[in-house]
Amino acid sequence: MAKVGQPFVIQNTDGPTWFVTWTNAVESSTGEAVSFTVEIPRRADLTLAEVQRFALKRAVELLQFAIPKQD
């Protein structure tokens, strides 16, 4: 899978967080795709690239919770 660089949406909220929605954040040549919406801390010092990285890392964290641990 490769990042396809699609635009993402940052929902500006009144609270201390943003909701980032990224459609087709990653996509395979066979048509598989991953899209997500995550909540990240609102920080004025973040560049758009940093927001993207933060959102991707948060999405991975959430997906790891969905994978059952094997003992």
Instruction: Give mean pLDDT, residues 5-26.
Output: 84
Q: Per residue in 28-49, pLDDT tens?
A: 999 999 999 999 999 889 888 8
Radius of gyration from C-alpha coordinates of the chain: 13
**Predicted local confidence at residue 6, as pLDDT:** 57
Instruction: Looking at 5-47, list the stretches that DSSP marks H as alpha helix, in order from N- to C-terminal side.
Output: none
Q: Look at residues 44, 52, 59 and name the one whose alpha carbon lies nearest to residue 6.
A: 52
Which carries the bigger pLDDT value, residue 4 or residue 67?
67
pTM for this predicted structure? 0.78
Q: Is 28 exposed, middle or buried (0-12, 13-18, 19+ CB in 10 A)?
A: exposed
